[in-house]
A and B are shown apart, each in its own frame.
Chain A
């Protein structure tokens, strides 16, 4: 039994702290609890009972809200981004019975945004359009797709097909450069609106959706503008397979910087990030020099607290969601983007039937008292990085996609015979979020997100 001294002050805390991600068993009919939300990036705090029974639950938030659930098994609390959202949440349980088991979980879900306030969802693509051995050089071997031949016909251009054969066709075996087009396709997937699923007709030539994607890919490889925000030295990042050794993932400062870029870039600034995510298909694709460029357009971060007494040190599983790149049996790429549906006027991601690529990163991270990542903290460290069931290494590149320049940004890249002005006839350019802060998002947009995550309507939590 705890000991007290007579005739002097004794201090006693009847409050039991809840560590994120852990169950606490309480032998009492009621309880006061605290739970700390460490970061400033916003999300959902969910308090729930782990044993059967319905209880009354009240939660008071740092920004002065009080939420109540009567006779429920859980309560979801929206956590707004910024200083007002992070901090200590107070919990009062009226259990009714003699004991209860309770846990708290915190999840952040962040989206990239378009200038209009809509969530930005890049379209999917197949990034080796000329890799299959097809003498006709039609993209996606065996199909009827002929994007460059059709382009020549529609716009009266000559040589586009031959240029591609000479420079990027694996079949020709005389190519001058790598046939992969992922970097251009990734940029195109956010810089242009998704082409119509049924395609479109221009100057009497019918383009399919997939053919249009290739044309946008060519001009973005040449005219797209990127801003590098993350690129550590290769020898610090380490090699790929097989590894479950966090040492190979480099120092804590690198980890902190990468996570800061992801959190601040997507959540705070609403920007998509063009990153290289490795493939899980095997050692050949695991070549460290290979890049599989994708646009990461949202993430989900789930926190757990290692020690309830160390409120700012968290273990985090970060899931990066990117557009997919799978060649389907119908020779199309993996379809239109993850669909954004409207439910009660609010956007809901629904990727059922639509492929996407996901990278999982698990790490330990220290935050400061304002909820910011402490980039240089000595106890930051990687735990693992996986795609599917395979260990891999973290992205070595991250770019902000800044737009399209009329003067080529990469004169040696992309098919120079595919003109930007022509492609603009076929596409609608997407209006990107001009790096405005999250709180400066269009009126109602932030509220939509918080209601969205509070309702756990994303596909990942459904």
Chain B
């Protein structure tokens, strides 16, 4: 039955399609009743917690199959992937040597050795996967929620990117003098690091630079 789903942490579009028995992400995303959401979010991969999305009725395809024969039925399903870029490790690899990694997401695990110039790791995503875990040198360095990153234009989305870039204020590390808002502090750090005017505002120029730095 069609419904309105409000996204919570760990929800992402492929998972919703699987959960509600929808054949493809496009059936949800391109539905007319999601036009307003499409206007807000440029891609179904960057939805945010709290977003409301229309889930249509599960679609059913029919095909006629002759009896007495063997048939191969191929279901078209998008292959989701989690892709992680670790550029700050480049200088570390230069200085201290290659770094063993392991990226695990649900039942899938990708492992290998990071070398200079190849600091991207990725792992396939099952639609039911909600969390991922990154190990470096055999040690868990971070756990992640899949989905919910949100668009860069939203404070929460910008903050999540800044956190992943290591720019979120840590009180023990000092936050900008007189700046109580962690987002403003992190934006100032980002703007300063990119040679932008240090305003602490999430303006268009800053958003574009943040997308370029983060990758999405």
Contact = CB atoms under 8 A, between A and B. Distances in A.
Q: Do A and B come from one complex?
A: yes
Interface of A: 1-17, 19, 22-25, 28-30, 32, 58, 60, 66, 88, 90, 92, 305-310
Interface string B188-216: 11101100000000000000000001111
B82 A24 contact: no
A15 B143 CA distance: 15
Given A11-B165, A12-B142, A32-B92, A3 B147 contact: yes
13 contacts: A1-B145, A2-B145, A6-B125, A8-B83, A9-B85, A9-B120, A11-B215, A14-B136, A14-B141, A22-B172, A58-B95, A90-B91, A307-B189
A383 to B, nearest CB: 12
Q: Identify whether the interface residues of B are mostly helix, strand, loop, or mixed.
A: mixed
B28 interface: no
Contacts, number: 172
A30 B13 CA distance: 35
B125 A19 contact: no
Interface string B1-40: 0000000010011100000000000000000000000000
Interface string B172-189: 111111000000011011
B148 A3 contact: yes
A12 B185 contact: no
Given A4-B149, A9-B85, A308-B174, A28 B216 contact: no
A24 B92 CA distance: 19
A39 B152 CA distance: 35
B164 A13 contact: yes
Contact of B83 (A9, A90, A305, A308): A9
A60 B45 CA distance: 39
Given A3-B160, A7-B80, A60-B95, A13 B215 contact: no
Contact of B45 (A1, A8, A22, A90): A8
A307 B187 CA distance: 13
Given A7-B80, A17-B166, A30 B137 contact: yes
B95 to A, nearest CB: 3
A14 B88 contact: yes
A307 B145 CA distance: 28
B216 A10 contact: yes
Interface in B73-89: 80-89
A19 B213 contact: no
Interface string B106-138: 000000000000001000010000011010110
B173 A11 contact: no
B176 to A, nearest CB: 5
B139 interface: yes
B142 A14 contact: yes
B87 A11 contact: yes
A28 B82 CA distance: 24
Contacts of B13: 6
Nearest to A310: B192
A30 B86 CA distance: 17
B65 to A, nearest CB: 33
Contacts of B144: 1-4
